[in-house]
């Protein structure tokens, strides 16, 4: 979850971006994904018809750039947040050219058939050939008796989740059909939101299962009440190639206490950033989409603890943009069951190969049991890029067991074998307390990690 090169949104921007003009413009179509050429499909925001015969030089001609910029200016700039200077706003085509220069691998990665196969759902949503899952979830009608308890809500949720999967099989590959599907007064998405808020009364979003009443301001391990705060939101140019540019939303608070956390300023301080309502979070997400984000990337800190507001924000969105869950994967099964129907692509961390290292370095119990369980479920519900950060001195105890487990249990997932570990946070302040990780991983350690990934047959090179 390390932050890298990106267009950073300050706290001031995030606060101001939530204060939009009353009129909400129609969503302009997102630029077609790299390597594609075409025009926006009629009646489907963000979807493009693809003409493989049209040369890319024609699509990106000066005239086309002018036309796209005029469209963006007329539909979006005039209705931009009051704090944004229309003359300084980044236009989509300009941004497209910018990130192609910064991250050319984000273009050529889609030439890799293995990547297209393993991320087939995500790629389909990018191309407009498939519907983002949450758009179908909010069209599945639900009937629930007034005053129903949480147990009854879970029973209905299980039934309607099965119905959603049947409906998605039917319409998921024909996004144009969604226009004819009326959003019901009460949907599966509404039910998920109500369940999530009910869970806050005795919080069990993660496997700490603190049981505190966050609705009344009580706080557990993550330090959060019911209020959700966003530390930053920006187009991230440093994520894995298939994800760039990624519309990242960084939330505060975390269920882990990693001694080497690179985002310690927001993970350890729940009061960092600014509070957002579901409507404001939706506006932030849609603004990132308008600017050219390939996905909406919920990250932190950790997003699991913000589940209630994230789900509620989807009620105010209908853009065909993939949703991405960038998590430490320590969520409870209940939280995971609320997520699997709406998330298109998972970007989970798999840090440790044993509980001892997890307890000492991230202060969490039962790590392997919980994270293994959640990875198994998630990899059956959407595409996945698993991140593993190679820690110095932990190749044998952590890296190899993690990679072996992935090869045996989630073989379809892409794997980012990450080499960017550096001593941060408590390790940097007290290196004598953590001598094993008070340095960067050596070239020999990284070479051994890569060799073992190759031996296991993992697909890691395109995203590492």
pLDDT digits (tens, 9 = 90+) for 240-283: 999 999 999 999 999 999 999 999 999 999 999 999 999 999 99
Helices (H) and strands (E) in the chain, counts: 19, 11
Q: What is the pLDDT of residues 233-249, one digit of tens each?
A: 999 999 999 999 999 99
Cβ neighbours of 444 (radius 10 Å): 9
Q: Which pair of tokens denotes residue 142? A: 């639900």
The predicted structure's pLDDT at residue 92: 60
Domain membership of residue 42 (yes or no) is yes
Domain total of the chain: 1
Within-domain flag for 422: no
Residue 363 located in a structural domain = no
Listed as ranges, residues in the chain with pLDDT below 50 are 1-90
Strand boundaries in 223-341, DSSP class E: 228-236, 246-251, 274-276, 296-299, 323-325
Express as a percent the part of the chain with pLDDT over 70. Answer: 80
Burial (0-12, 13-18, 19+ Cβ within 10 Å), 42: exposed
Average of per-residue pLDDT values in the chain: 84
Report the distance separating Cα 160 and Cα 96, nearest Å. 39
**Which strand (E) or helix (H) includes residue 94?**
helix 92-102
Residue 93 pLDDT? 65
**47: Cβ contacts below 8 Å, ≥ 6 apart:** 29, 40, 41, 128, 175, 176, 320
- Phi and psi at residue 457, in whole multiples of 5°? 80, 20
Lookup: tokens for 459: 């697909």
Which domain, by its residues, includes 121?
28-127
The answer as to whether 326 is a domain residue is no
SS3 at position 44: coil
C-alpha span between 313 and 216 (Å, rounded): 21
Residue 86 lies in a domain: yes
> Looking at residue 179, what is its pLDDT?
87
What is the Cα 297 distance to its own chain's centre? 3
- Asked, for residue 75, whether it belongs to a domain, the answer is yes
Residue 57 lies in a domain: yes
153 found inside a domain: no
């Amino acid at each position: 979850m390390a932050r890298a090169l990106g267009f950073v949104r300050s706290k001031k921007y995030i606060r101001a971006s939530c204060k939009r003009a009353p009129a909400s413009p129609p969503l302009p179509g997102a630029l077609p994904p790299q390597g594609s050429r075409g025009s926006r499909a009629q009646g489907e925001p963000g979807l493009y018809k693809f003409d493989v015969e049209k040369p890319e030089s024609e699509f990106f001609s000066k005239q086309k750039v002018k036309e796209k910029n005029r469209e963006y200016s007329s539909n979006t700039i005039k209705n931009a947040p009051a704090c944004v200077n229309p003359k300084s706003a980044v236009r989509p085509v300009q941004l497209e050219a910018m990130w192609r220069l910064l991250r050319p691998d984000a273009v050529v990665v889609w030439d890799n058939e293995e990547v297209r196969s393993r991320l087939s759902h995500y790629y389909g949503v990018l191309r407009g050939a498939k519907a983002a899952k949450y758009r179908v979830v909010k069209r599945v009608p639900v009937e629930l008796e007034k005053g129903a308890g949480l147990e009854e809500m879970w029973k209905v949720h299980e039934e309607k989740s099965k119905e959603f999967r049947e409906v998605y099989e039917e319409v998921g590959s024909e996004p144009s059909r969604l226009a004819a599907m009326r959003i019901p007064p009460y949907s599966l998405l509404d039910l998920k939101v109500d369940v999530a808020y009910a869970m806050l009364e005795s919080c069990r979003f993660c496997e700490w299962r603190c049981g505190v009443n966050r609705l009344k301001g009580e706080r557990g391990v993550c330090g959060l009440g019911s209020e959700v705060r966003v530390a930053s939101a920006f187009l991230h140019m440093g994520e894995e190639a298939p994800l760039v540019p990624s519309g990242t939303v960084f939330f505060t608070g975390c269920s882990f206490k990693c001694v080497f956390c690179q985002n310690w300023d927001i993970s350890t301080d729940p009061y960092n950033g600014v509070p957002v309502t579901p409507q404001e979070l939706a506006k932030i997400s849609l603004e990132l989409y308008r600017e050219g984000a390939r996905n909406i990337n919920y990250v932190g800190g950790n997003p699991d603890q913000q589940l209630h507001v994230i789900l509620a924000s989807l009620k105010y969105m209908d853009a065909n943009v993939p949703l991405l869950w960038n998590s430490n994967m320590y969520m409870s099964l209940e939280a995971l069951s609320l997520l699997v129907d709406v998330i298109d692509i998972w970007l989970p961390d798999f840090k440790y190969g044993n509980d001892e290292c997890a307890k000492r370095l991230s202060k969490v119990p039962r790590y392997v049991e919980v994270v293994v369980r959640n990875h198994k479920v998630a990899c059956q519900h959407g595409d996945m890029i698993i991140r593993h950060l190679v820690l110095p001195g932990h190749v044998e105890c952590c890296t190899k067991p993690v990679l072996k487990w992935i090869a045996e249990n989630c073989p379809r997932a892409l794997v980012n074998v990450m080499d960017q570990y550096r001593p941060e946070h408590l390790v940097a302040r007290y290196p004598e307390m953590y001598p094993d990780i008070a340095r960067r991983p050596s070239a020999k350690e990284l070479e051994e990690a890569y060799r073992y990934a190759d031996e296991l047959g993992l697909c890691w090179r395109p995203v590492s």
